[in-house]
Amino acid sequence: MTPFRERDPVKIGALSLMVIALLLGMAFKADSLPVIGGGTIYHAQFAEAGGLEVGDDVRVAGVRVGKVDSIELAGDHVDVGFRIRERASFGPETGAAIKIRTLMGSMYLELRPAGEGQMSAGATIPVERTESPYTVVDAFTGLAETSGEIDTDQLAESLTTLADLTRDTPESFRTALDGISRLSTNLAEKDERINTLLQNLDRVTTVLDARDEDLIALMRDASVLFDALVQRRQDIHDLLVATQDLSEELSSLIEGSRKDLAPALQHLESVVGVLNRNEEHLDESLRMMAPFYRVFANTLGNGPWFDVYIQNLPPIPQVTP
């Protein structure tokens, strides 16, 4: 086998570039791959696309379950392909509608589950079960009916007034519109977090509802505690006043005895110094006192008298035979 260093670098470079290009193509088409992309493809036919774009969300009951995969014109209707990645149950009679997600016109595809079982993979929702936000025919029909009732003079006056109002403040007006756009975009990006927050709030309210009796009992106990504190308010006030008086008396006592305590402490220090200097003599005295104390205790240990023994006093008389 030829060592790696001895192989043709041109072939190795060309092969590496081909592998890199293949990986880049797979990265851009990851959603279309059978394993990496995942999900199931379905189709829905609409009379009007209504501003829906590829990549918009597909939702069931407000929960995002997939994205729009393709939008193609098929005769007199629009064929929308969408990919479902999450586990979502919707029957074969499911309908679809294009809904507005933000104030700035962002759209999403809403599925309306219906029927028993699960819709087959690759199935198509017909036009009869879909709903567009509006159709071109309806829009022009409404415009024709409305335009006949418009007072053109009043409309011109209104436009002139609007132009006069916005002529001096174009920058602030554009800033306000930009702020509204950013707000709507931010709300659209945070919709999942808002949904999670609402779900957690629902859980909290459920727990509070289950614990309502405990909360009521806690409030009643707190009321009893507060009533007791109110009743003991005067006792607590008297205790605090007495404590303050005691602290003042102790302060006065310490302040008044400070002059007497200073000399006493000084004399005590002198006495302790004398005792420290004569520690050896005190130890020797205590050691020598021990035999004396023992004899003294034996002498006076039987009562309030001395036991004395004198030998040969008086002398023993001589007894003659």
**Hey, what's the torsion of the CAs at 30, 33, 36, 37, to 10 degrees?**
70
pLDDT value of residue 192: 75
| Any domain includes 124 | yes
Average pLDDT, the chain: 76
What are the residue ranges of helices labelled H in the chain? 9-28, 136-147, 152-167, 170-189, 191-210, 212-231, 233-277, 279-300
Which DSSP category does 86 fall into? S
Check residue 305 and give left, alpha or beta (phi > 0: left; psi -120 to 50: alpha): beta
The answer to whether the beta carbons of residues 114 and 91 sit under 8 Å apart is yes
Work out the burial of residue 119: count CB atoms within 10 Å of its CB; fewer than 13 is exposed, 13-18 middle, 19 or more buried: buried
Tokens 């405990």 locate to 214
- Radius of gyration of the CA atoms of the chain, in A: 52
Q: What is the pLDDT of residues 53-63, one digit of tens each?
A: 888 888 888 88
Range of the domain at 80: 38-138
Check residue 314 and give left, alpha or beta (phi > 0: left; psi -120 to 50: alpha): beta
| Any domain includes 89 | yes
Which DSSP category does 84 fall into? E
| Any domain includes 120 | yes
| Any domain includes 130 | yes
The rounded distance, in Å, linking the Cα atoms of 150 and 156 is 11
| Any domain includes 79 | yes
Contacts of 296 (CB under 8 A, 6+ apart): none
Q: What is the pLDDT of residues 98-141, one digit of tens each?
A: 888 776 667 888 888 888 888 888 888 888 888 887 644 555 55
pLDDT value of residue 35: 44
| Any domain includes 231 | no
Q: How many domains does the chain have?
A: 1
CA nearest 63: which of 183, 202, 196, 186? 196
Least reliable range by pLDDT among 72-76, 84-88, 114-118, 146-150: 146-150
Least reliable range by pLDDT among 128-132, 140-144, 248-252, 289-293: 140-144
| Any domain includes 98 | yes
Q: Where are the beta strands (DSSP E) in 23-62?
A: 40-46, 57-60
| Any domain includes 86 | yes
Q: What is the mean pLDDT of residues 242-264?
A: 82
SS3 at position 2: coil
Q: Which two tokens stand for residue 306?
A: 């001395």
Q: What is the pLDDT of residues 12-37, one digit of tens each?
A: 777 778 888 887 777 666 555 544 45
